Structure 1
Amino acid sequence: MNGFGIVGTGSFLPDDVVPNRVVAERAGVSDEWIVRKTGIRSRRYAADYEATSDLAVKAAEKALADAGVPAERLRWIVVATSTPDHPQPATACLVQHRIGADRAAAFDLNAVCTGFVFALETATRLLSAGSGAGYALVVGADVYSRLVDPTDRRTAVLFGDGAGAVVLGPVRPGRGVVGSHLATRGAYHRMIRVEAGGSRLPASEKTLAGGEHYFQMDGRAVREFVASEVPETVRRLLGEHGVAPEAVDHFVPHQANGVMLTELMPRLGLTGARTHLTVAEHANTGAGSIPLALDTARRDGAFADGDLVLMAGFGGGMSTGATLVRWDTQHS
C-alpha cells in the first residue's frame, strides 16, 4: 500500500525587506550585535493590508500549482499559526474559501513555532485513516511583526513574517512520511508567551498600557530547553524507525536563531546531513519557517529521489517535534 508524502511545496514572503539597521535603531542595538547574537541580517514584514491568511493563501496556491492538484481535491486543510487573523473563525477557513477548496475540512493548529511539524503529522494521520486516496494542504504561516515590541532587543531582532505550505498525497511505496515524534513540556509554558488577548486576560486599556499583548520570551531558558530537548526528540524519532543519525541526508530545522542552530547541530549527530538555513535572510517566521526553508531547498534542487529529509521544530508550550520523510521526486 502506498504511503503519503509531500507532493508539492510553496512559500510566500512579503515584499517589505527590513534590514538590521532599521530594527537595531528601534531596539537600541547595532547591526553587528544582531548578526553576532543571531546570524540574522534581514527579515520581511507584512504590509498594513496583509494578515496571516493573505500570506497563507499565496503559499498554498503555489504548493497546489507545484503539486498539480486542484483545490477541490483537497480533503483537509490544516493551518499552523500562533498569529491568526482573528481569535475566531479559524484562519484555515479563510484559506479554504479563498482557494476554492469547498470539499475540505479546515482548521487551525497552534503549537507556536513547532506548529508545522504538529500539523504535518496530524494531516498524515487523517489521510492514513481514510480510504487511501485524497490530498491534504498543510500551511505554516505567521505575522510576528504585529506581536513583537520593537523596543525589546530580546525579541524584536529575531522575527519576520512569512508562510510555507505543502500538499500531502499518495506517493510510491517506500517513499513519503516515515514517521514523527512530538512532545510537549507544559511545565515550561511561561518561557514563551503572549499574556493578554485571551479569556484569562482580555485586551483592555490596562493590558495595552502594560505591553502585555506583546510576545515575551526567556531567551536563556529557551536556549537551554532546545539544547536538551531537541536532540532527545530527534534521537527518539530516528530510533523508533531504525535510522542511524548519519543516514539522514537533509536537515531542515525551525529557523529560530542562526547562532543557536550552529550550537545545536553537533548535538544531533547528523554527520551526513546537509542543513538548510534561511534564517539570515528571513529571520524567525514562526510556524512558517520550516516549510519556507523546505520549499527554498526543493526549488534549489537539493533533494534527490529517496533522500531522507528530517524536519525538526521547537517552540512555545514548550513543544518539540520532528518528522522524517523519504523524498519522492516523482511526485515533488
Structure 2
Amino acid sequence: MTTSSILGTGAYAPKKLLTNQDLEKMIATTDQWITERTGIKTRHIAAEGETTSDMAVCAARAALAMAETRAEDLDMIIVGTISADMPLPSCAVIIQAKLGARNAFAFDLSAACAGSLYGMSIADQFIRTGKARRVLVIGAELLSRLIDWNDRNTCILFGDGAGAIVMGPCEEPGRGLLSTHLHTDGTTADFLKIPGGGSLHPQSEEVLANKWHKVAMNGREIYKFAIRVLPLALNEALEANGLKPENVSHVIAHQANARIVESVLERVGIPQDKCWMNLDRYGNTSSASLPISLDEANRAGRLQKGDIIAMMAIGAGMAWGSALMRW
C-alpha cells in the first residue's frame, strides 16, 4: 500500500525578538516567573505590514526547495491557521497566488495549535488514495495581533512564525506516515477562544470595549486536559502500529508549555531528550510549532532513515491528536 512521506520541510520566524526582559517593562511579570511556568525566554514578533501569508510563503519556499518540487507541481495546499490575513478569502488561496502554485487547490483549516497535525492527516488520505502526489501543508500564525498585551496570562506565551511540509507518496514498505489519530472535545471550547468577531458576537463597539476580539484562555484547565489526553493519544499511535515507547527515536511536539511536554513524555515513558525543544526561543506559535520543530530537527541531522518519529499536538476546541512516522 502507498503511504505518504515527508519530502521537504521549511520554517520562518520574523527577525524581531521580544524577550522576557522586554515584557517586564510592559506588564507586571518577571523573567523568572515566565521561565519557571512556561519555559519561554524569547518569542518572534512580525514586522509592521508583515502578514501571515508572507511568513507562510517563506516557509513554503524553503520546504519546496528541499523537496526539489516546483510550486506549479503541487496538487494541494492546506493551511492550518486561526490568524489568516483576512476572514475571507482563505489564507491558503493568497499563499497559492504568491507561490504561483496554479495547479493546486487550496484551503484553510481551523484546529488552532493542532492545525498542522490535522493538515498532515488530510494530506495523507489524499496521497494514499492517489488523489494527490504533492501536497504542501503549512502551519502559520501571527498571534501577536490577536493578543491583549495587558493580559499577562496570554501575552507572555505566544509568538509569530510559520512552518511548512511537502508530502508525497512513499512506495517503500514500512516507511512514511504510519498512522494519524485525531480527537475533539467541543465541551471544552471555552478553555481557549476568541469570542468576538463571529456570528455570536459580530464586530461592534461592545466587542472592542470588552476585548472579545482577543485571545482568552483558561491555562489551568488546558494544562489538566492536555496531560490527560496527550499520553492516551501517543499510546494509541504506538499500539496501532505494534510499537512501544522504547521504539520511539524522536518526538516532535506542539510546544505550548514546557511543563505539558515534560509531563506527557514522563507518563508515556519516553525520555525528555528524545523531544526536540525550541519553546524557549519561539514561545507558542500555535499551528506553526510542530512544523518549525520538525524542520529544525531535520536540518540539524537529528532524523535518520528508519527512525520512528512520534508527533503530538493539542489546540483550541479542544482538538488534539498524534501521528507516527518511520523516517
Relative to the length of structure 2, the TM-score reads 0.97
SS in 2 for 1:153: coil
Q: Post-superposition, which runs of at least 4 consecutive aligned residues in structure 1 deviate over 3 A? A: none
Deviation at 1:240, TM superposition (A): 1.4
The Cα shift of 1:214 comes to 0.8
d(CA) in 2 for partners of 1:233, 1:310:
10
Q: Given residue 221 of structure 1, which amino acid in structure 2 is its aligned partner?
A: E
Greater CA drift, 80-89 or 262-271: 262-271
Equivalent pair of 1:24/1:34 in contact (CA under 8 Å): no
Partner residue, 1:98: 98
Match for residue 150 of structure 1? 149
Query: Quick one: distance in 2 between partners of 1:273 and 1:40?
Result: 18
2:210 is matched with which residue? 210
Does the CA contact (< 8 Å) of 1:245 and 1:268 recur in 2?
yes
* SS across alignment from 1:27: coil
Unpaired segments ≥5 residues, structure 1: 328-332
More displaced stretch, 253-262 vs 180-189: 253-262
Q: Which runs of 5+ in 2 are unaligned?
A: none
For residues 240-278 of structure 1, the C-alpha deviation after alignment (integer angstroms, 9 at most, x for no partner) is 121112101000111101233223320122249711011
The alignment yields a C-alpha RMSD, in angstroms, of 1.3
**Which runs of structure 2 are paired with 1:176-215 in the superposition (5 Å)?**
176-215=176-215
Kindly indicate whether the alpha-carbon contact (under 8 Å) linking 2:3 and 2:169 is maintained by their aligned counterparts in 1. Answer: yes
Equivalence for 2:24: 24
The aligned residue for residue 317 of structure 2 is: 317
- Matching residue's letter, 2:64: L
Matches within 5 A, 1:123-162: 123-130=123-130, 134-162=133-161
**In 2: Cα distance, 1:128 partner to 1:165 partner:** 20
* Kept in 1: contact 2:2–2:128 (CA 8 A): no
Report Cα offsets for 1:116-156 as digits up to 9, x if no partner: 1000000110122225x620000001011011111111111
Count, aligned residues: 326
TM-score (norm 1): 0.96
Secondary structure class of the residue paired with 1:33: helix
Amino acid at match of 2:156: V
Letter in 2 for 1:134: R
Q: 1:308 aligned to 2:308?
A: yes
Preserved CA contact (<8 Å) 1:96 1:106: yes
Instruction: Provide, for residues 197-235 of structure 1, a one-character-per-residue CA deviation record: whole Å limited to 9, x for no partner.
Output: 111111111110111111011011000000101111111
Q: Is 1:168 the counterpart of 2:167 in the alignment?
A: yes
Aligned counterparts of 1:288 and 1:267: Cα–Cα separation in 2: 25
For the residue of structure 1 that corresponds to 2:25, the secondary structure is: helix
Distance 2:302 2:199 in 1: 45
Q: Is the CA contact (8 Å cut-off) linking 2:127 and 2:169 kept in structure 1?
A: no
Q: Does 1:295 align with 2:295?
A: yes
Matches within 5 A, 1:3-82: 3-82=3-82
Name the CA distance, whole Å, in 2 between partners of 1:79 and 1:24: 34
